């Protein structure tokens, strides 16, 4: 059989098997809670948003959804929709925001990877493929009628080393006030993405949250861990985020993989057994080659002294 045809037929078979097993998953519609469905962006989508959104889309979304309008999404079941299609564009802004944030099945959740503002930037970019789209802008909600110049989080470490305290304060006219009832999340920075610590907790009457840090959290060689805390609700005050480095982890000293002598390392870090084997073999063989060349020279010298008629 022709190779391409056989590939296609194999593909159809796989797709068919995949479909039948994934039918259940594909049949249930993706329910968006009513309050999330009507959610809107607080800012008007501008070119700047769309450009940032494009960069973010290309990094985080393209590998499955493909380039918008080019119909080159990865073939999966269920099929990740091309953002330029009606299937995707018929979602409300709030529904898109919900689906990107929460994820379902093979679609990952991005709420701990991208900020709320960045998710809106991606929506801004995606909407640029919809000519009929008219953006509605949300009215910025207020925090019990109060307005602040600045809202901030302070991170501090409890004595026993097992918990981290986050305190949320609002500042207006030089006066600081603890803010109660705001959900705060604490994260640890890892090599790949961020790791949430404990769970999201609301601030108490003193504007404080107490996060329990697991006692087996690996830190750097001195036990330091890079943390950051942020308010879950970005609509009230925008992105409120604080970073801190604290000595709350277990001192972990794992040398980087490029530190020891190893097969995968640079030539200066060749394993010694290999270095010596190579050098000894090369020297031995080439040494003997020079012995042979020396013998050749001896033959030549001996011949000078002799006069024989052949």
Partner 1 sequence: MASEVNTSFLKDRRLDRIATDILRPVGVDRGFYIWMASLGTLLLVCLYAYFIQLDKGLIVTGLRDYVSWGMYISNFVFFVATSLVGMLISSVLGMMGYKWIKPIGRIAEIIAVAFSAVAGLVIVSDMGRPERLPYVFMYGRIQSPILWDVTVVTTYMTLSILLYILTMIPDMAISRGRIGHAPTWLQKTYEFLSFNFKHTPEQYKILLKAVRILLILIVPTAFAIHTVTSWLFAVTTRPGWDSTIFGPYFLSGAFVAGSAAVIILMFFVRNNYKLNRYITLEHFDKMGKLLFLVSIVYFYFNLNEYLVPAYKMKTFEARHLTELFVGEFAFMFWSVQLLGLIIPMILLLFKPMRKPMPMLLIAIVVLIASWFKRLLIVVPTMESPFLPKQHVPDAWMVYHPTIVETAITIGTITLAVMIISVLMKLFPVIPIWEVAEEESAHPDQQPVE
Closest separation between CB of residue 81 and partner 1, Å?
A: 17
Q: Which stretch binds partner 1 (CB under 8 A): 40-48, 49-57, 149-157, 264-272?
A: 264-272
| Residue 58 contacts partner 1 per CB under 8 A | no
Question: Is residue 167 exposed (0-12), middle (13-18) or buried (19+ Cβ within 10 Å)?
Answer: buried
Q: Is 17 left (phi over 0), alpha (psi -120 to 50) or beta?
A: alpha
| Residue 266 contacts partner 1 per CB under 8 A | yes
* Contact characters 244-263, partner 1, x per CB under 8 A: -------------------x
Q: Which among 187, 278, 195 has a CA at the least distance from the CA of 230? A: 187
Count of CB atoms situated within 10 Å of the CB of 5: 9
Q: Which among 212, 214, 234 has a CA at the least distance from the CA of 41? A: 234
- Of 173 and 287, which has the nearer Cβ to partner 1? 287
Of 45, 74, 164, 214, which lies in the binding site for partner 1, with binding defined by CB under 8 A? 74
| Residue 8 contacts partner 1 per CB under 8 A | no
- 3 state SS of 47: helix
Under 8 Å between Cβ of 202 and 185: no
Residues between 276 and 305 that touch partner 1 (CB under 8 A): 278, 282, 285-286, 288-289, 291-293, 295-296, 298-304
> d(Cα 50, Cα 128) in Å, to the nearest integer?
8
Residues between 83 and 142 that touch partner 1 (CB under 8 A): none
- Of 12 and 288, which has the nearer Cβ to partner 1? 288
- Using CB under 8 A as the binding criterion, the count of chain residues that bind partner 1 stands at 36
Closest separation between CB of residue 64 and partner 1, Å?
A: 12
Question: Is residue 235 exposed (0-12), middle (13-18) or buried (19+ Cβ within 10 Å)?
Answer: middle
Closest separation between CB of residue 121 and partner 1, Å?
A: 26
| Residue 270 contacts partner 1 per CB under 8 A | yes
> d(Cα 124, Cα 160) in Å, to the nearest integer?
46
* Backbone angles phi and psi of 149, in degrees to 5: -70, -40
- Of 4 and 131, which has the nearer Cβ to partner 1? 4
The site for partner 1 (CB under 8 A) is made up of 3, 6, 72, 74-75, 263-267, 270-271, 274-275, 278, 282, 285-286, 288-289, 291-293, 295-296, 298-304, 306-308, 310
């Amino acid at each position: 059989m022709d190779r391409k045809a056989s590939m296609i037929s194999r593909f159809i078979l796989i797709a068919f098997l995949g479909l039948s097993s994934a039918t259940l998953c594909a049949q249930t519609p993706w329910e968006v809670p009513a309050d999330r469905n009507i959610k809107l962006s607080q800012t008007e989508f501008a070119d700047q948003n769309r450009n940032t959104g494009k960069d973010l889309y290309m990094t985080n979304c393209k590998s499955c959804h493909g380039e918008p309008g080019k119909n080159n999404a990865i073939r999966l079941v269920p099929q990740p929709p091309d953002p330029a299609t009606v299937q995707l564009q018929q979602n409300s802004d709030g529904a898109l925001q919900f689906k990107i944030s929460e994820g379902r099945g093979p679609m990952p959740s991005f709420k701990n990877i991208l900020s709320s503002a960045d998710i809106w930037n991606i929506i801004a970019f995606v909407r640029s493929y919809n000519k009929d789209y008219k953006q509605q802008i949300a009215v910025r909600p207020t925090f019990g009628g109060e307005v602040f110049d600045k809202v901030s989080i302070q991170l501090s470490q409890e004595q026993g080393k097992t918990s981290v305290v986050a305190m949320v304060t609002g500042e207006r006219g030089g006066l600081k006030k603890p803010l109660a009832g705001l959900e705060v999340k604490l994260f640890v920075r890892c090599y790949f993405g961020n790791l949430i610590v404990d769970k999201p907790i609301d601030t108490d009457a003193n504007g404080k949250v107490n996060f329990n840090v697991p006692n087996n959290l690996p830190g750097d060689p001195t036990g330091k861990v890079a943390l950051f805390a942020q308010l879950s609700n970005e609509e009230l005050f925008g992105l409120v985020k604080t970073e801190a480095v604290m000595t709350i982890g277990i001192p972990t000293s794992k040398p980087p993989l490029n530190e020891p002598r190893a097969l995968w390392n640079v030539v200066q870090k060749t394993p010694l057994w290999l270095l010596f084997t190579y050098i000894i073999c090369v020297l031995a063989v080439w040494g003997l080659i020079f012995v042979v060349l020396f013998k050749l020279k001896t033959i030549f010298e001996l011949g000078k002294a002799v006069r024989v008629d052949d």
